[in-house]
């Protein structure tokens, strides 16, 4: 007998490539049929068959307040009742721009867009336009959206140019991108020593979240800042995932690093499609209509998305918000680690703010190569077993997880009890 989820997936495959509108949703990495959801509330959501799950994906990060937070819903409803889009300036756009610049000292000017990919693409174009250079540096395992220049994997040597990681990306586009190893200070220094005058920008996730959660070392980020300053390159921090998720001043506040440009997304849209990029005034003033770097978007600063984002940003400024969120994430990761150790399972976990990573290896990885050493079969077994228990983790061993303000002791305890049962099966 087929389930409703299976039936919907088969129908979807007839009309949508792979049956999904974003690849990781297809469960290709873990196998099985994706779950189709119909509603969420707080730390939980329910699938089309009525089964509830504790959600540790949170729409891949934006839902820092949990599903359907009443104040966010109210803001969206009130705004939508006055119009969903104008294609013209609104006061709310100004309010959220002011707030972003107040909360994040590195932002002197900011522009709103509709997705993290759009923000990343625009920041790269702006960096090239400002510096007059073409080459950029990214790091193996970091994901910055599906722009051609950023869908690039490492070459065969430390200083070889990258190769396209997707069909449809021209080799000549990839040739402008150098891909280095994350946390490799020596590799970065060597590259700048040889090519520093040609590098427009370095783009990096200060806490990587798309090869699972990997922390940057302070020395690594400090080296990037020093070398970019020395060689006239721009440092771009991709905080689409970490922005207002790991702290009120984002990851750059935790590390004490001031970038030239910052990419934001997810949390600033409160679960609706919105992102932004911003930074130094002299750089941002190169954008049209002031400068010669063109960027535009019909739905940029959409009033409904801005309303959700503004309310979310107001909520996370409450005293102790991030202390509580961080404590929740640590309770989860510490508990999972203890449950695995009790049952003799090779496992580790770590958290930064409201983000966490789980790994089927003895210690948390520090690079893409170490991530690839994790036991993916063990993760896949764990994922499906926890899914049966009503616990929804990201359907991939290479994605970070998220807690929200709605996750409390009850949800964490239920999760750890389920994990103990699953680990006892000797993954």
Would you please indicate which residues are annotated as catalytic (active-site) residues? 143, 238, 266
Task: Report d(CA 207, CA 17) in Å as an integer.
Answer: 31
Q: List the structure tokens of 172.
A: 């000549």
Q: How far is CA 191 from CA 128, 180, 194, 202, 221, in A?
A: 18, 9, 5, 11, 15
Tell me the CB-side half-sphere exposure of residue 332, using CA atoms within 13 A: 31
401-402 and 163-164 strand pairing:
unpaired
For 197, how many CA atoms within 13 A lie in the half-sphere containing its CB?
Answer: 1
CA-based torsion, 44, 46, 47, 49: positive or negative = positive
Which of the 8 DSSP states describes residue 199? E
∠168-170-171 over CA atoms, to 5°?
Answer: 130
CA distance 217 to 256: 12
Q: Taking Cα atoms as reference points, which of 263, 354, 271, 277 lies closest to residue 307?
A: 271
The answer to whether the beta carbons of residues 162 and 155 sit under 8 Å apart is yes
CA 54/CA 60 separation, integer angstroms: 14
Q: What number of CA atoms fall less than 13 Å from residue 279's CA on the CB side?
A: 29
Please say whether the beta carbons of 8 and 36 come within 8 A. Answer: yes
Q: What is the DSSP letter of 167?
A: T
- Counting every residue written for the chain, the total comes to 427
DSSP string, 16-61: SGGGSSSGGGG-TTT-SPPPPEEEEEBTEEEETTS-EEEESSGGGT
Q: What's the maximum distance between 2 C-alpha atoms anywhere in the chain?
A: 65
């Amino acid at each position: 007998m087929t389930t409703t989820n299976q039936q919907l997936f088969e129908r979807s495959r007839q009309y949508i490539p792979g049956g999904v509108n974003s690849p990781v949703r297809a469960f290709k990495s873990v196998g099985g049929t994706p779950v189709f959801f119909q509603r969420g509330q707080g730390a939980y959501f329910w699938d089309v068959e009525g089964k509830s799950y504790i959600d540790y994906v949170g729409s891949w990060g934006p839902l820092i307040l949990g599903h359907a937070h009443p104040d966010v819903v109210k803001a969206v409803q009130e705004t939508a009742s006055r119009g969903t889009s104008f294609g013209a300036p609104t006061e709310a756009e100004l309010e959220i721009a002011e707030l972003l610049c107040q909360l994040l000292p590195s932002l002197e000017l900011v522009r709103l867009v509709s997705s993290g990919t759009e923000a990343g693409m625009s920041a790269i174009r702006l960096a090239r336009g400002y510096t007059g250079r073409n080459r950029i540096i990214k790091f193996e395992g970091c994901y910055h959206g599906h722009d051609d220049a950023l869908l690039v994997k490492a070459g065969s040597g430390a200083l070889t140019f990258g190769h396209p990681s997707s069909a449809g990306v021209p080799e000549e586009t990839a040739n402008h991108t150098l891909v280095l190893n994350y946390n490799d200070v020596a590799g970065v220094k060597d590259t700048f020593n040889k090519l520093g005058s040609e590098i427009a920008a370095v783009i990096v996730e200060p806490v990587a979240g798309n090869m699972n959660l990997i922390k940057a070392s302070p020395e690594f980020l400090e080296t990037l800042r020093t070398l970019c300053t020395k060689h006239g390159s721009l440092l771009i921090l991709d905080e689409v995932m970490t922005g207002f998720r790991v702290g009120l001043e984002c990851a750059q506040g935790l590390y004490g690093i001031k970038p030239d440009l910052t990419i934001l997304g997810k949390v600033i849209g409160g679960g609706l499609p919105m992102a932004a990029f911003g930074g130094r005034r002299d750089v941002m003033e190169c954008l049209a209509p002031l400068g010669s770097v063109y960027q535009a978007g019909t739905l940029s600063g959409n009033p409904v998305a801005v309303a959700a984002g503004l309310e979310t940003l107001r909520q996370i400024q409450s005293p102790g918000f991030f202390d509580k969120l961080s404590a929740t994430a640590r309770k989860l990761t510490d508990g999972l680690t203890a449950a695995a150790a009790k049952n003799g399972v090779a496992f580790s976990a770590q958290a930064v703010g409201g983000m966490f990573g789980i790994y089927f290896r003895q210690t948390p990885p520090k690079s893409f190569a170490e991530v690839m050493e994790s036991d993916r079969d063990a993760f896949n077994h764990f994922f499906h077993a926890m899914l049966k228990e009503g616990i929804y983790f990201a359907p991939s061993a290479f994605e970070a997880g998220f807690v929200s303000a709605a996750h409390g002791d009850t949800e964490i305890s239920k999760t750890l009890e389920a994990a103990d049962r699953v680990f006892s099966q000797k993954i």
